[in-house]
Structures are given as structure tokens and as C-alpha cells.
Amino acid sequence: MKHHVRQGLHLFTTITAAAAVGVFRPPSAAADFADHLRDAVMQVRDGTSCGSLRPEPLADQTAAIAIRSTDTYLDHNARVVPVSDPLPILKDLGLNAGKAKLLQGAGKTETDAIKAILITGYKDLPDCSYTAYGTSALQYSNTNGWFLTAVVLVGS
């Protein structure tokens, strides 16, 4: 079996296990929503042969900028398209990163928005070249009623 297929199967198993142990319980406040997002990302990463991701405040800030740009876009109030590349923002904030990846998720529930991050990040979350991360979550803030999540992965 090819390595990427094994990783995908492992990620599916990890997501299923995370749902079973309650990582995807609907949180009662925005802070809980963000905490559950961080926990889910770390649980997936801890299930790999890579070391844990290091929390990076500038990546959190970048994720918040990206998610606000998406939220503004969904409300039809944006003057530009949403952020798609986090690396220039990280560099503007002073982080000397060699590479970065933005994962975004959305759902009609917090659980679905977190699952979307884990599914879209199935190749990137287990990538050992990423050593730090940041997250952001918006709870039902746009007029369309979507819960939004963003994860910024950072590598050298």
C-alpha cells in the first residue's frame, strides 16, 4: 500500500476516533470552539510519526486575518478576494518562515467546520516539515450563518 494511502487511512481512523471520544462536541462558547479546533489538529498530528506542532502566536494572528477576510467575503463586503497564501502575512508580521499552508473549513455547525479542516488537511497535517501552527475560529458571525475555521501550518 502506498505511503499516502496509509496516511489517509490513518487520518480517517484518527478523525473517527476523535469524534468518538467527543472532540467534536458542540462547544458552548467561541473560546471552546477554538480550543476544540486546536485539540482536533493536535490529536491528528500526534497520531503521526512527526513531533507535535508548536503553537505560534503569529500563525494564530495570520489565521485570524485569513478567517476575517473569508467572513467579509461571505458577507459581500470584501474589496478583495479572501487570503489564500499565509506566507506573506507571516513575513509581514515578522516570522521568518520558509513555507506555510492555510487550511480553511466551514460548516453549518462547529463540528462540521472542524471536520472540514481535518479532511482538507489530510495531506498537510501529517507533513513533518511543518513544525508550528496557529488557529482561528469564528462562531456564526456572517450573514449566511456559517461557522468558519482556519489553521496556518508553518515550516522552515
Report the CATH number at residue 121.
Answer: 3.40.33.10
Mind listing the pLDDT tens digit for each residue in 32-52? 899 999 999 999 999 899 999
The three-state secondary structure class of 124 is coil
**pLDDT value at residue 110:** 92
Domain count, the chain: 1
pLDDT of residue 143: 66
Mind listing the pLDDT tens digit for each residue in 85-130? 999 999 999 999 999 999 999 999 999 999 999 999 999 999 999 9
**pLDDT exceeds cutoff 50 at 25:** no
Task: Read off the pTM.
Answer: 0.80
Domain around 93: 3-155
Buried b (16+ CB within 10 A) or exposed e, 80-102: eebbeebbebbeeeebebeebbb
For 55-95, write each residue's pLDDT tens digit.
999 999 999 999 999 888 877 887 888 899 999 999 999 99
Burial 12-28 (b: 16+ CB within 10 A, else e): eebbeebbeeebbeebe
Query: In the prediction, which pLDDT does 78 show?
Result: 75
Residue 20: pLDDT band with limits 50, 70, 90: very low
